[in-house]
């Protein structure tokens, strides 16, 4: 059996990793890391929609046992929760982190140390939660960590609002992409996160992610090693557009896509401002979403009923 080797180690061995770091940091001078394209100079302390300059803030890190089954295994997924976000959904369950900025500033060296700590705890992967706005800093830290023995898969756990150009810098670095596909309708995306172009950008991002890593590969121990895993949060009153999203995944990505239909929506943050999402989805809506996914051809569905943090 061929021994697993993370993509980032292969890329480092090819001698092209440092160029990726340099290219990514150059973007911060007129930031277009994400589809917001704020074009602020983050080196000078300016901040755009994500409220982040060149520094990185971490809210928490630990082995996480509420993530998807192939990520958790026996020892958990090594989650690193970053502060702030480029999407800023008004119903975010991590509102104090994503909107209010609760967290501590960390250097690249400290972030690398966090990764190594999680590996030493036995975690099966390093799970970057809300990484879109700090891709350059993550790349820098990964290089340091890899030079000091990091050798487990990297998970890019994003809201799906990712730039294809930035994702291309991550090719050969990220082993497992785990984006959300939150909403199908532009009007919904505009209301809940002021990102009318979210649906189109999410579609393009998922296509690029799948091009890089393919369908999710799970080893003989039930642990994911590489590939795409898509999350979709069931929202009240069909607000998320589940059927069209599942149809897109099956027809435009792959019928072999591994999908998590997430049942744990609750009205957090400012959700009460919008009547349709001010309550909880019903059991019928949750079961209906699972049925829809199957009707549209999705058969690799993560088991429902678990609770974990959602952006």
Task: Give all domains of the chain, ordered by start, each with its CATH number.
Answer: 7-301 (3.20.20.70)
Q: What is the pLDDT of residues 108-126, one digit of tens each?
A: 999 999 999 999 999 999 9
Q: What is the pLDDT of residue 304?
A: 47
Q: What is the pLDDT of residue 308?
A: 39
Structure tokens at 23: 């290219």
Structure tokens at 39: 């074009």
Q: How far is CA 280 from CA 97, 112, 263, 277, 305, in A?
A: 22, 39, 10, 7, 14
Q: What is the pLDDT of residue 209?
A: 98
Residue 178 has pLDDT above 80, yes or no: yes
Q: What is the pLDDT of residue 303?
A: 75
Cα 12 to Cα 5: distance, rounded to the nearest angstrom? 12
Q: What is the pLDDT of residues 48-70, one digit of tens each?
A: 999 999 999 999 999 999 999 99
For β-strands 126-129 and 176-177, DSSP reports them as unpaired
Q: What is the pLDDT of residue 95?
A: 87
Average pLDDT, the chain: 95
Cα 206 to Cα 115: distance, rounded to the nearest angstrom? 25
Q: Which residues touch 107 (CB under 8 Å, ≥6 apart)?
A: 56
Q: What is the pLDDT of residues 7-31, one digit of tens each?
A: 999 999 999 999 999 999 999 999 9
Residue 219 has pLDDT above 50, yes or no: yes
Q: What is the pLDDT of residues 240-280, one digit of tens each?
A: 999 999 999 999 999 999 999 999 999 899 989 999 999 99
Comparison of pLDDT for 144 and 275, the residue scoring more: 144
Q: Which residues touch 163 (CB under 8 Å, ≥6 apart)?
A: 32, 33, 34, 35, 201, 205
Q: Which residues touch 68 (CB under 8 Å, ≥6 apart)?
A: 178, 224, 229, 258, 260, 302
For 203-221, give the secondary structure using H, E and C: HHHHHHHHHHHCECEECCC
Within 10 angstroms of residue 294's Cβ, the number of other Cβ atoms is: 13
Per the CB < 8 A criterion, the answer to whether 6 and 152 are in contact is yes
Structure tokens at 104: 């501590």
Q: What is the pLDDT of residue 58?
A: 97
Comparison of pLDDT for 301 and 307, the residue scoring more: 301
What is residue 126's three-state secondary structure? strand
Q: Which of 2, 3, 23, 50 is nearest to 173 (CA)?
A: 23
Share of the chain above pLDDT 90, in %: 90
Cα 143 to Cα 145: distance, rounded to the nearest angstrom? 5
The residue-averaged pLDDT of 134-138 equals 98
């Amino acid at each position: 059996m061929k021994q697993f080797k993370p993509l980032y180690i292969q890329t480092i061995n090819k001698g092209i990793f440092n160029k990726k770091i340099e290219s990514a940091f150059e973007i911060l001078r007129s930031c277009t890391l994400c589809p917001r394209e704020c074009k602020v100079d983050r080196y000078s302390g300016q901040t755009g929609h994500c409220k982040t300059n060149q520094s990185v803030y971490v809210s928490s890190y630990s082995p996480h046992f509420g993530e998807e089954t192939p990520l958790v295994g026996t020892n958990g997924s090594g989650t690193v929760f970053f502060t702030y976000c480029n999407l800023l959904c008004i119903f975010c369950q991590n509102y104090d982190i994503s909107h209010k900025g609760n967290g501590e500033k960390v250097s690249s060296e400290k972030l690398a140390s966090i990764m190594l700590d999680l590996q030493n705890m036995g975690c099966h992967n390093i799970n970057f939660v809300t990484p879109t706005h700090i891709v350059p800093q993550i790349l820098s830290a990964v290089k340091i960590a890899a030079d000091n023995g990091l050798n487990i898969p990297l998970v890019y756990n994003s809201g799906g609002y990712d730039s294809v150009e930035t994702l291309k810098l991550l090719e050969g670095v990220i082993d497992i992409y785990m984006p959300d596909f939150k909403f199908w309708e532009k009007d919904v995306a505009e209301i809940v996160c002021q990102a009318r172009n979210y649906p189109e950008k999410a579609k393009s991002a998922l296509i690029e992610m799948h091009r890089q890593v393919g369908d999710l590969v799970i080893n003989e121990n039930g642990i994911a090693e590489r590939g795409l895993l898509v999350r979709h949060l069931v929202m009240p009153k069909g607000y998320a557009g589940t059927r069209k999203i599942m149809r897109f995944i099956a027809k435009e990505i792959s019928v072999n896509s591994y999908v998590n239909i997430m049942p744990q929506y609750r009205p957090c943050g400012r959700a009460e401002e919008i009547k349709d999402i001010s309550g909880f989805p019903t059991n019928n809506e949750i079961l209906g979403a699972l049925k829809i996914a199957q009707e549209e051809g999705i058969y690799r569905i993560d088991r429902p009923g678990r609770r974990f943090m959602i952006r």
